[in-house]
Amino acid sequence: MENVYLTIVLAPLIGAIIAGFFGGKIGRRGAHSVTIVGVGVSAALSLWVLSQFIWHDQPVFNDTIYTWMVSDGIHFEVGFLVDKLTVLMMATVSFVSLMVHIYTIGYMADDEHNWPHGALTGRNSYQRFFSYISLFTFSMLMLVMSNNFMQLFFGWEAVGLVSYLLIGFWSTRETAIFANFKAFLVNRVGDFGFILGIAAVGMYFNSMDYVEVFARAPELANTEVALFGGTSLMTLICILLFVGAMGKSAQVPLHVWLPDSMEGPTPISALIHAATMVTAGVFMVARMSPLYELSETALSFILIIGSSTAFFMGLIGLVQNDIKRVVAYSTLSQLGYMVTALGASAYAAGIFHLMTHAFFKALLFLAAGSVIIALHHKQDISQMGGLRKYMPITWLTALFGSLALIGFPGFSGFFSKDAIIEAVGSSQIFGSGYATLLLTVGVLITALYSFRMYFLVFHGKERMDEHTKHHLHETSWVVTLPLVLLAIPSIFIGWYAVEPLLIDNWFASGNWNPIVVAHEHDTLHHLREHWHGQAAFVQHGITALPFFLAMTGLGLAIIIWWAVFRWNPKIDAQIQAAGGPVTQLLQDKYGFDDFNQRVLAGGSRDLGRMLWLTGDRTLIDGMIVNGSAWRVAHMAQWARRLQTGYLYDYAIAMIVGLIGLLTFFVMF
Amino acid sequence: MNEFPLLTLVIWLPIVGGIVVLASGEKSPSISKWTALFFAVLTFLLSIGLWIGFDSNTAQMQFVERSAWIPTFNVEYYLGVDGISMPLIVLTTFITIFVIVAGWEVITYKPAQYMTAFLIMNGIMVGVFSALDGILFYVFWEAMLIPMFIIIGVWGGPNRVYATIKFFLYTFLGSVFMLVALIYMYFQSGSFSILDFQEMQLGITAQTLIFLAFLLAFAVKVPMFPVHTWLPDAHVEAPTGGSVILAAIMLKIGGYGFLRFSMPITPDASASLTWLIVALSLIAILYIGFVALVQQDMKKLIAYSSIAHMGFVTLGFFIVFTIAQNPALSSGSIMGIEGGMVQMISHGFISGALFLCVGVLYDRVHSREIADYGGVINTMPWYGAFVVFFAMANAGLPGTSGFVGEFMVILATFRADFWWAVLAAMTLILAAAFTLWMVKRVIFGEVKNDKVAALKDIDQRETFNLAVLAIAVLALGIWPAPLVNVMHTTVENLVVQVTTCKLPSSERSDCVLTHPEPIVAVPNN
């Protein structure tokens, strides 16, 4: 199996190298062929391995590929741990990536128009884009397949690098290169915590290997470290690692980079900033469940951060007019749901939502991209409308995606989201009440912003200019095919996956269980005990509060942005105006950006300038270095006078010296 | 004893080569360049012999050559390498090749003498790393100043006189105290052999004074706060090749000095002054990180970045004393030193490459100001790709060599003290901020002005330089094991040495080190 796993990882890398370095020679066709073949091989093999795990009791693989280095007795290795948790991620990542690769052929077809005339960077940009997304696939697979903390960090940063390159892909746009710099820095803040977490693991476990660390974790469960007057070691490790997850999975307050990342081309918004990379934090915490289960403090922390993100970021989605930003805030909110699930120890539900979300959110982004292509790169939803007629496939798939997102009964998102809310509701740890409240109300918000966007884009009067309207038509098959292929799991995957993932604990294979839940944290047990099949779950769901909230949201959206909007197109603006300071607060995004920009970024620059001018320039150079040079010169001026050139002066000096020395020796 | 005097050859071949190039005169620049390149490559190939012939299972000195030099004072021509010095020698001969190639068409004023200076520099630096006699070391150490003085003074920028004098005085001031310490130790041990120094017992007062004398010499070279201000000035005025040698090799000599002299000779003083070095290292990482952020001049920015990265080296070295004194920790001290060593080698590649990158732009536009650029990638896509790559390496991205040392040092520092590790890990944010902000302003964006619009992408010669360094950065990042393995035994032995009390028996009760009594006599040739 080692060769299969190596092929899964290396095929996209090889594609990326060929398309990246020889893009000019092999041309566009060559570049997209080679990368699609690479990722296709990866996806096919991943799905095959998944099927082996489902139907053939595939044994867990945990082995080293090569030893990176050995220092101080700790083996730093590159290796794979492939169990059911991994294989689910591999299949999701490589499948979505393949869809995005195909879609990109259509989306980037006219990319030369995005570059200024004569820019050499625009020459092979198409090939370069394919190289980057394949490189991303490689990095993400390295991350999820890792069997140790060091490689996890490698994958973690490598996806960050590719994200940086892709957000700033259109490097002549000031907004794009601002966004990618910001994204990298904010992620580095997270990584700062993450690397300290890894260092803590290294110190107390003397190992980087997951299995070894997890096995020894219970022994160290009660270890205290002398920090802040005594902290549990596990709390320290878990919170530090989670700070990394907050960066990568864009949790408050490290979420600020994700909306800006929409400056990148839409295919990567779908792949990296919705379906895969941003869920790395969720995957990481689930992978580390044997550690997180040992710290209730860390779990409470996660619960509060996650639910705050889910609710407050969803609210911002209500006032956005850029089609991609609405979806971006929706992604933030949904990531919050996944993270909250982790905090409630419902890791399986978090991973389940990660998977369903990967499909329907990639779908929504790609549908948004399809709209953007049709409208010649206009993204303002107040200038859209009525696209239903012109783009039937995009319209229908987007509708399915939206229904999945709001958790409409039967759609994939329904199962995963309901399971999360139920689990959080039955959690007993600190913060669970707050989280339950926010997640439940969040359902209403989700329905509102999703269908606000849906109606403004696909229904009502066409509000675009005549020229654009004249050219409106459905996008080509390379764009619509991935939409259809993603719509299928968006609708159905929940129905099929809910039972094995949440009820039967499918993740355990043999004596290896990647998702460890302590008995007192088992928030899914209620679901499990009352399980009577999917149909009963749906039936139960439509009598519960979240369903009513979703329907209320949907109903309100229909009334406002469909019914009222027909005779009063200004209704959207009027509602926002009526919101007054609340709208303002949401449009300011609670002031996070301003704070970061002024206080953190500005403050750092001011501090640097101050240290440089007063420390280096004035104190060290001015007073000590140049000052002593000046003093030497001054002293020399004075000493010069001693050298009179007269012999008797020197003779006197010698005699005085001799007397002095003699006195010294005689006396002491 | 090795029959073949390989070390002598690696030291003197480039020096002889330099004299040959000098003698060939300035009449035919192309002949002198090719001759210089020939000697540089030949030296590098010979130094590869050191790596191949090196036995990494022993901590003993290898390729030892020993003969009397000044018998009156027992000064010897005593050479040898271990797992610490050998990789640094190979780095030196390796980097010299790029310096020669980088000056190829750019240096038009007396190219033969320029090449000569670098070849001689190469030999001297190898001498510093392989000298096992205190006086021999000191002679090489001081001799190093002369070619560098000339390189900056003759081929440097407009303010070169200020920079050279500052550079010379700073380093000279430091080394004078080192000479005093060497002479003192000669009187104590009757020999100038560094290995004898390491076995000597010294009272805590003597140790402290010696430690401080060495500290002054090495801190200036590294450079450590607050004696670092010569470096940005020297870099700004130095020609590209000078900057590369300065950053890639000369700074490492300071770090090497700590490992060869301060730590093993005065372990008790080092242990009691660890707080000082750690504080200075953390200041280098944080203070200098912020200062680097606001630099307007690309070379200054990279110079400050070098100081911050060297802070990791000294931090990694000295936390060994804190870790070894903590009975709860079974290990961790080796990783700090190895991390510092890897960081030195890696920084040699990365800073060298970054200075070459700045040189590429300077040769075309004659400006190092960040504000004079913008959107360079539009006209120089390959160049832009290299800059982004090396910038990422400078920010410590995993998969590049820049990550390895930082990672090891952070892991080791965590064992020493949580808060030190927190401060050290701030480099993840700071290094990314100052490096990528420069990249954003210089490389990305729209073409800023006509000069940028007229830029031509890197030629074959420049591509060769950057590509080979990129491969080195990547190789070390993907598989650091060969480098770590080659130094492992030596570092292990060093850790035993630096944790062994060197106080005389009368003061032994004050010992804070792990091994109050000498365990094993250090093998000596």
Calculate the average pLDDT of chain A.
Answer: 90
What does the pLDDT look like over A29-88, one tens digit per residue? 999 999 999 999 999 999 999 999 999 888 999 999 999 999 888 999 999 999 999 999
Distance from the B343 Cα atom to the nearest Cα atom in chain A, whole angstroms: 14
As a whole-number percent, the residues of chain A with pLDDT over 90 amount to: 62
Q: Does B480 touch chain A (CB under 8 A)?
A: yes
Residues shown for chain A: 668
Enumerate the H helices of A475-570 as residue ranges: 477-498, 525-529, 534-541, 545-557, 565-567
Q: Of all helices (H) and strands (E), which one includes residue B171?
A: helix B160-189
Q: Write out residues 266-325 of B within 8 Å (CB-CB) of A.
A: 287, 290-295
Residues shown for chain B: 525
Find all residues with CB under 8 Å of A228, minimum gap 6, and list them.
none
pLDDT at A297: 93
Contact check, Cβ <8 Å, B414/A150: no
- Residue corresponding to tokens 């499918």: A506
Q: Does B412 touch chain A (CB under 8 A)?
A: yes
Q: What string of DSSP letters covers B430-461?
A: HHHHHHHHHHHHHTSSS--SHHHHT-----HH
Alpha carbon of A222 to those of A232, A234, A235, B316: distances in Å?
A: 7, 8, 10, 30
Enumerate the H helices of A206-322 as residue ranges: 210-216, 233-248, 257-260, 266-270, 280-287, 289-292, 296-317
Give the rounded distance of the alpha carbon of A325 from its chain centre: 15
Contact B358, B368 (CB under 8 A): yes
Give chain A positions within 8 Å (CB) of B487: none
Find all residues with CB under 8 Å of A65, minimum gap 6, and list them.
A2, A6, A77, A78, A79, A80
What does the pLDDT look like over A83-131, one tens digit per residue? 999 999 999 999 999 999 999 999 998 888 888 888 888 888 999 999 9
As a whole-number percent, the residues of chain B with pLDDT over 70 amount to: 97
What does the pLDDT look like over A257-288, one tens digit per residue? 999 999 999 999 999 999 999 999 999 999 99
Report whether pLDDT(B524) > 70: no
pLDDT at B516: 66
Contact B492, B59 (CB under 8 A): yes
CB pairs under 8 A between A and B: 163
**Which of B159, B169, B429, B494 to mutate to test binding with chain A, by most A CBs within 10 Å of its CB?**
B429
Q: In the structure, what pLDDT confidence band is assigned to residue B16 with cuts at 50, 70 and 90? A: very high
Which range among A465-474, A590-599, B221-230, B483-492 has the greatest average pLDDT?
B483-492
Contact check, Cβ <8 Å, A119/B447: yes
Q: Write out residues 117-156 of A within 8 Å (CB-CB) of B.
A: 118-121, 123, 150, 153-154, 156
pLDDT at B1: 45
What was the ipTM of the complex prediction?
Answer: 0.93
Contact check, Cβ <8 Å, A225/B418: yes
Distance from the A237 Cα atom to the nearest Cα atom in chain B, whole angstroms: 12
Q: Write out residues 71-100 of B within 8 Å (CB-CB) of A.
A: none
- Residue corresponding to tokens 């990567």: A268
What does the pLDDT look like over A125-148, one tens digit per residue? 999 999 999 999 999 999 999 999
Contact check, Cβ <8 Å, A196/B397: no
Can you tell me the distance from the alpha carbon of A654 to that of A665, in angstroms, rounded to the nearest whole number?
16
Contact A84, A50 (CB under 8 A): no
Q: Which residues pair with A224 in a beta bridge?
A: A232
Compare CB distances from A620 to B226, B332, B445 and report the shortest one's residue: B226
Question: What 3 state SS string does B224-237 have?
Answer: CCCCCCHHHHHHHH
Distance from the A625 Cα atom to the nearest Cα atom in chain B, whole angstroms: 8
Closest CA to B410 of A205, A191, A144: A191
**Which of B414, B415, B423, B437 to mutate to test binding with chain A, by most A CBs within 10 Å of its CB?**
B414
Contact check, Cβ <8 Å, B291/A177: no
Contact check, Cβ <8 Å, A116/B378: yes
Angle, helices B145-155/B134-143, rounded to nearest 10 degrees: 0
Report whether pLDDT(B325) > 90: no
Q: Does A172 touch chain B (CB under 8 A)?
A: yes
B68's tokens:
């009397």
Q: Does A161 touch chain B (CB under 8 A)?
A: yes
Can you tell me the distance from the alpha carbon of A282 to that of A163, in angstroms, rounded to the nearest whole number?
18
To 5 degrees, how large is the angle CA B43–CA B45–CA B47? 70
Distance from the B139 Cα atom to the nearest Cα atom in chain A, whole angstroms: 26
Compare CB distances from A121 to B294, B381, B407 and report the shortest one's residue: B381
Q: In the structure, what pLDDT confidence band is assigned to residue A309 with cuts at 50, 70 and 90? A: very high
Around Cβ A279, how many Cβ atoms within 10 Å?
32
Tell me the Cα Rg of chain B. Answer: 22
Enumerate the H helices of A22-83 as residue ranges: 23-55
Q: Torsion angle, CA of A540/A336/A318/A422, rounded to 10 degrees?
A: 10
What does the pLDDT look like over A209-234, one tens digit per residue? 999 999 999 998 888 888 888 889 99
Contact check, Cβ <8 Å, A172/B429: no
Contact check, Cβ <8 Å, B291/A620: no
Q: Which amino acid is at A248?
A: K
Mean pLDDT of A536-549: 88
